[in-house]
Structure 1
Amino acid sequence: MKKLIVTLIAMLLVLTACSNGSDNKNDKEATKNYKQDSGKTIKVPKKPKRIVVLGATYAGGLKQLDANVVGVAKIVNDSKVLKDKFKDVKKVDPENVESVAKLKPDLIIDYSTDKNLKKLQKVAPTVAFDYQKHDYKQQHIELGKLVGKEDKAKQWVKNWDKKTKNDGKEIKKAIGDDTSVSIIKDFDKKLYVLGKTYGHGSEVLYDSFGLKMPSNVAKATKKNDLAEISEEEIPKMTGDYVITPVAKGAKLSFGDKDVWKNSKAVTQHHDIKVDEGIYWLNDPYSLDYERKDLKSKLLKQQK
């Protein structure tokens, strides 16, 4: 009897060990190592099934990649482009960690600047991107790598480059190769000129269309990709064309000032207002809207 008990215990230990080995193998096959922008490597699902996107900039890209997004920062509703794309997805407050946890995510995607990262990491593996580290095309490919859709991301970049190159040729033919375009934005009672990668149409104008940036703007934004300016500096920063992002229902703080109305671009009716709610984003859906919108407005105002 004693020998029988010993034998049964031994068999149980073997079965338990085999079971644990199988579980470990399954865990290993289901996850992968991902190196974050911070340099830290974490384990993430190879095929995430419940993604919560708190970094709204990345939401449209993940949607284009057919990733399984179950929650997204509610600010996407400010964009009429993304609002429709995420109409059936739960909206969450990025500040409310509990609202994120209720969605039972297996992956959270956020900005590296989020003060709640440590709390979020306890909910699920959290990838925190440094917004300044990647341009919009690199970022989309990086999202593809993260969710196992790198080939699809690269194909989008290839298609985008092809069609925007043709757009750029058409626009330059109409307005001139050396024509300059700038972006001036007012925020919190301050004025800024934007550089080449600060959203608000900058990626489309300068990278995709290949349009020229005014030399004064290029110099001012060289270090931080944007620069605060005074109202008096507006005339030398407007370029031949000037783009101004405006939030829905808002007005330009400087729109009625003589220094604006008398600037060259404005007197020639080369000032173009765009929808801030859409233009602050640079995901594939938002970019395509901006591409069509800017092309149409630049060609229209040339006529």
Structure 2
Amino acid sequence: MLFSDYLSRRRLTLIVMVLITALMISACGAADTGNGNSNTETVQTAASDPSKAVETNSEGDSKVKTISTVHGDIEVPVHPQRIVAEEYLGSLIALDVIPVGAPGLTIKNYYFKESLEGIEDIGDYGKPSVEKIVALNPDLIITGNAEKTYEQLSKIAPTIVIPYGDLKNAHEELTYFGELFGKEEEAKTWLEEYDRRIAAAKAKVDAAIPTDATFSIMEDGEKSTWVYGDNFGRGGQAVYQALGRKPPSGVAEEILEKQWAELTAEMVSKYAGDYIIMTSNSSTMEDYKADPIWGSLPAVNKGQMYVWPEERSWYYDPLAVLAQTEELADWLSKQDR
């Protein structure tokens, strides 16, 4: 081997070693950056559902993600620990997400009040106490009605406003919150059981009641009567959505579009179906039978009216709808054809 060849090979070896060393230093630097203590994320804009939010480069419960809301894109904790929920408690409880505060009305919810023992009362539904919420030091606020309070609430903690009606049924609610809290599998499992029980309840009713029988969802307003659609509580979700029943044909389009109407005594017969689900805190079935107007309705004459109190009919969260559907199915399955 010539000496010149030897020098050439030595130079090549040195160059290769320098390049390898440089690459190793560069890789170590990148690894150190990734393991730093920064909690800042580069988060892409999310779509309207939480599953589209992107999480990057953060640690533990300090992670945040960006979601789109009616008030624009906001950053929320990936794992919130102290939630104040003015609305949607049924869906949260189904996913084992228990808030630290909620309105007194929802804390008393007939269908899950035991799950909320010890939860702080934040005041009236729709008009929460800002002072009480501040005292709870929340890291996330969830509400369906914050037109007047959003500016104040959003200064306390990230505030997600989901207007009532945007999530139209149990599937939309559980799916949304499952994605928000990273509990997609829990939501899927809960909904599978929900669907199974709803299907069983519907089968009981279909076996006992003609499929073309009409239903009315009503409430005693003392001086007037109110009639409701399929997304306004009082059993509407249970009857029209879960059991698949319909209002009287002459008023069905109006009721399902507007969702409510106030009736005078003279209008009641027009809106009365073959079956009436009536919310009343003061009148009984016997009272309706004795009333000249109500007693003349076929549904009342035949005993095809179900009277229950507001504390059982008013709520419309997934837990309530499931329980209401099974309660009404038990009653309907005992009716004569």
Fold conserved (TM > 0.5)?
yes
- Give distance in 2, aligned partners of 1:149 and 1:187: 41
Say if 1:235 and 1:264, in contact at 8 Å, map to a contact too: no
Give the aligned partner of residue 71 of structure 1.
Answer: 101
1:103-143 C-alpha deviation (Å, 9 max, x unpaired): 11100111234411110101100111111222122122212
TM-score (norm 1): 0.84
- Cα 1:139/1:217, change in 2 over 3 Å: farther
Q: Distance in 2 between matches of 1:23 and 1:288?
A: 41
Going from structure 1 to structure 2, the CA distance change for 1:92 and 1:112 (only over 3 Å counts) comes to closer
Matched, 1:46 2:78: yes
| Partner Cα separation in structure 1 for residue 192 and residue 135 of structure 2 | 38
2:250 paired with 1:216: yes
Structure 2 Cα separation of the partners of residues 180 and 95 of structure 1? 39
Q: Give secondary structure in 2 for the equivalent of 1:33.
A: strand
Please tell me whether Structure 1 or Structure 2 has the larger radius of gyration of its CA atoms.
2
Tell me if the contact between 1:52 and 1:105 (Cα under 8 Å) persists in the aligned partners: yes
Q: What's the offset of the Cα at 1:271?
A: 0.8
The partner residue of 1:81 within 111, 122, 131 is: 111
Structure 2 distance, partners of 1:188, 1:121, is 39
Question: 2:259 is matched with which residue: 213, 216, 225?
Answer: 225
- Summarize the alignment of residues 291-302 of structure 1 with structure 2, pairs less than 5 Å apart: 291-302=325-336
* Residue 35 of structure 1: aligned partner: 68
Residues 1:112 and 1:49: Cα distance change in structure 2 (over 3 Å): same
Cα distance between partner residues in 1 of 2:110 and 2:257 = 32
Give the partner amino acid of 1:262.
Answer: S
Report the CA distance between 1:21 and its aligned residue: 6.6
Secondary structure of the corresponding residue to residue 58 of structure 2: helix
C-alpha distance in 2 between matches for 1:205 and 1:259? 24
Task: Provide closer, same or farther for how the CA distance between residues 68 and 167 of structure 1 changes in structure 2, counting only shifts above 3 A.
Answer: closer
Cα contact 2:145–2:161 (8 A) shared by 1: yes
Structure 2 unaligned blocks of 5 or more = 1-32, 41-56
Is this contact kept in 1: 2:198–2:322, CA < 8 A? no
In structure 2, what is the Cα distance between the partners aligned to 1:143 and 1:114? 22
Counterpart mapping for 1:42-121 below 5 A: 42-55=74-87, 58-93=88-123, 94-121=127-154
> Higher RCO, 1 or 2 (CA under 8 Å, sep at least 6)?
1
| Counterpart code for 2:181 | V
Please say which of residues 101-110 and 165-174 is displaced more in the overlay: 165-174
- Identity across matched positions, percent: 28
User: More displaced, 185-194 or 165-174?
Assistant: 185-194
Structure 1 residues 190 and 148, CA gap change in structure 2 (3 angstroms):
farther
Q: 1:90 offset after TM fit, Å?
A: 1.6
The answer to whether the aligner puts 1:23 opposite 2:39 as a matched pair is yes
Cα 1:175/1:223, change in 2 over 3 Å: closer
SS, match of residue 286 in structure 1: helix
Distance 1:32 1:145 in 2: 12
How many residue pairs match? The answer is: 281
Separation of aligned partners in 2, 1:31 and 1:236: 53
Q: Show the 5 A alignment for 1:128-207.
A: 128-137=161-170, 138-187=172-221, 189-207=223-241
Compute the RMSD of aligned alpha carbons. Answer: 2.6
Distance (whole Å) between structure 2 residues aligned to residue 205 and residue 114 of structure 1: 31
Between the aligned partners of 1:261 and 1:95, the Cα distance in structure 2 is: 42
